[in-house]
Structure 1
Amino acid sequence: MTNNINQRLQGIILAVVGASLWGLGGTVSDFLFQQRHIDINWYVTARLLISGIVLLVLFKIMNRHKSIFSIFTHVHTIFQLVIFSIFGMLLVQYAYMASINYGNAAVATLLQYIAPVYIILWYIIRRKEKFKLFDLIAIILTLSGTFLLLTNGSFSKLLVAPPSVIWGIISGLALTFYTIYAAQLLARFQSILVVGWAMLISGVLMNFKAPIWHFDFSALTISTTAYLIFGIIGGTAIAFFFFIKSLTYLTAKETTLYGTIEPVMAIVASALWLKVAFLPLQLVGIMLIIILILTLSLKKAS
């Protein structure tokens, strides 16, 4: 009995820390773009390449008798992986970072977390699900919360830079594709293997645009290096690993609920550390979106 309690506690800690690292990773990225002037293209390349390698190494450590190349056994699977890498992993990572670069981590994270509503709409349009009262409530919460977050209730003034809003919406749409399209791959392979290869492949593609070696490493300070390590590895690879590891001790339903800590952490860190200020109706919008995220998670967990 005591052992089961300890294992459950370990799972909760892993899930909470993993989700928190994701949220903090976005805020650290915000700091690096705004305060240390790190180029977003180089940062995305480094984030994807290094995190992909780290995850594949972790997969091999945990599965010593399995090949990391097992996902490349069929042409159709390779095609699916490449599509997922480009239009799922690369697009969602780049769009999220671009939204942060033009705005801030809190707004970018909230815009990305609207993705479950896009998924609901997709299934309704495809007639795979019937339109329910819950769907209407989710859409109203989304529209109301997003409107207040971006405008503070004004119909004539946008408080968030338009490029940040556009990239944030693209990030949410890309996450929708990421979630739906990955289902077939995740049904056959461990998520750490799929995500590891998707990151590595998309990182190699980004490397053609912004080579990882095209960076003035001599100008790096100790603090900037520490922030880069955290943003690239801690807020990406380790965060994902902890969250997936928590599934060893918790159900997927439970980890989904703990995952809602990510946007909360991004908002709190942005406000306390980066001094991002929100107007009263923006705070109402934030609460509506958080309620939406929590409600969607509870529905998924039921």
Structure 2
Amino acid sequence: MNRPTRRTGLFLVITGAIFWGVGGTVAQKLFQQYAINVNWLVTTRLLIAGLLLLTVQFIWKDRSQVFGVWKNKRSAVQLIIFGILGMLAVQYTYMASIKYGNAAVATLLQYLAPVMIIIYLILRKQAILTRRDLLTVSLALGGCFFLLTNGSISGLSVPTLAIVWGVLSGLALAFYTLNAVPLLKQYDSLVIVGWAMMIGGFALSFIHPPWQMDFSSLRAEAFLYLGFVIIFGTMIAFWFYIESLQSLSPKETSLLGSIEPLAAVLTTVFWLKEPFGIFQWIGTACIIGMLLLLALKKKSSSKTKQPQKLKRSYRIS
């Protein structure tokens, strides 16, 4: 296959980020308007998207890796742990936060993961605290305060369960990001993420089998929304992001990937008509600013393989 042009790469990463953000908002509509079960949606989303990603790998990339990852016992164990404690944990907590709150808040809270990683590495003495880190953490904490309280210390403007699941989503994403690095040094991203989705979906199937769903009460538009969340908001979004790395640097994809929370906020406010106060907009700006600061910090990430692999593992929404 010919190497994609830079223009193609820009289109892919921007489109993928928008799909991720809008996918969360569409999931919110499914929860609120059609009472779709969270367990069922997460199970179905993971199984179908994972199968499609592995199919892409088998048809267009190195097909030997699809089953080759299971031939190494150490890699197989790591993949199972990653699929359950990483992929499934992230997907479930994110969707639960959307159900109890909204897609905008859930996405922004999930994006606290980079700050959690910074704090973790500093506590483990694997990194030193810099002024840029202090600014990053300050933006994240300030953004969360304004986002969740709308500037008033007398009470929260977001349901408590939505906050709890959102913070857990950020913690799960931090674990996901760090835990994926060893596997991504050996295998393609589509292989690891595809199998992780399949493992997570299979594990959750014991709690809520995907075939246990009453479709009789759903209108045609509900099926369109389901298709969008699974195909565009998960499978195509991740595929486009991975493909964009063929012509763009990890720094550029990270920077443009910040469109995801913006897309989630805009569609939540203007499509679903969720109330959003002026201080919540300020909080949103702080968190997006934090993401941009982190992206700009990785200027040298394209010079080494490990940061690039880490960045490839980060996209899971």
State the 1:220 CA deviation.
2.7
Distance in 2 separating the partners of 1:64 and 1:153: 51
- The amino acid across from 2:200 in the alignment is S
Q: 2:18 aligns with which of 20, 36, 43?
A: 20
User: % of aligned pairs identical?
Assistant: 49
Q: How does 1:124-273 map to 2 (within 5 A)?
A: 124-273=122-271
- Residues 246-287 of structure 1 show CA distances to partners (whole Å, capped at 9, x for unaligned) of 111112221111111100000111111001121111111111
Distance in 1 separating the partners of 2:43 and 2:135: 39
Q: 2:28 aligns with which of 20, 24, 30?
A: 30
Q: 1:278 aligns with which of 273, 276, 279?
A: 276
**Structure 1, 56-65 or 157-166: larger mean CA deviation:** 56-65
- Residues 143-201 of structure 1 show CA distances to partners (whole Å, capped at 9, x for unaligned) of 11101110012222011000100000000000000101100000100000000000001
The alpha-carbon distance between structure 1 residues 67 and 188, as it changes in their structure 2 partners (threshold 3 A), is: closer
Distance in 2 separating the partners of 1:249 and 1:143: 34
State the 1:63 CA deviation.
2.5
- The amino acid across from 1:245 in the alignment is E
Q: Which residue of 2 aligns with 1:295?
A: 293
The alpha-carbon distance between structure 1 residues 301 and 37, as it changes in their structure 2 partners (threshold 3 A), is: farther
TM-score normalised according to structure 2 size: 0.92
- The amino acid across from 2:172 in the alignment is A
Distance in 2 separating the partners of 1:109 and 1:257: 16
Residues 34 and 218 of structure 2 are in contact (CA less than 8 Å); yes or no, is this contact kept in structure 1? Answer: no
- Say whether residues 1:113 and 2:136 are aligned partners: no
- Residues 60-95 of structure 1 show CA distances to partners (whole Å, capped at 9, x for unaligned) of 011365251111111111111011111110000000
Residues 15 and 237 of structure 2 are in contact (CA less than 8 Å); yes or no, is this contact kept in structure 1? Answer: yes
Count of aligned residue pairs for this structure pair = 299
Instruction: Name structure 2 gaps, 5 residues minimum.
Output: 301-317
**Structure 1, 165-174 or 274-283: larger mean CA deviation:** 274-283
Distance in 2 separating the partners of 1:57 and 1:102: 34
Q: How does 1:3-18 map to 2 (within 5 A)?
A: 7-18=5-16
Distance in 1 separating the partners of 2:94 and 2:286: 21
TM-score normalised according to structure 1 size: 0.96
Residues 18 and 263 of structure 2 are in contact (CA less than 8 Å); yes or no, is this contact kept in structure 1? Answer: yes
Pairwise CA RMSD of aligned residues? 1.4
Q: Which residue of 1 aligns with 2:310?
A: none
Distance in 2 separating the partners of 1:125 and 1:72: 34
Q: Which residue of 2 aligns with 1:90?
A: 88
- Say whether residues 1:78 and 2:76 are aligned partners: yes
Residues 254 and 301 of structure 1 are in contact (CA less than 8 Å); yes or no, is this contact kept in structure 2? Answer: no
State the 1:107 CA deviation.
0.3
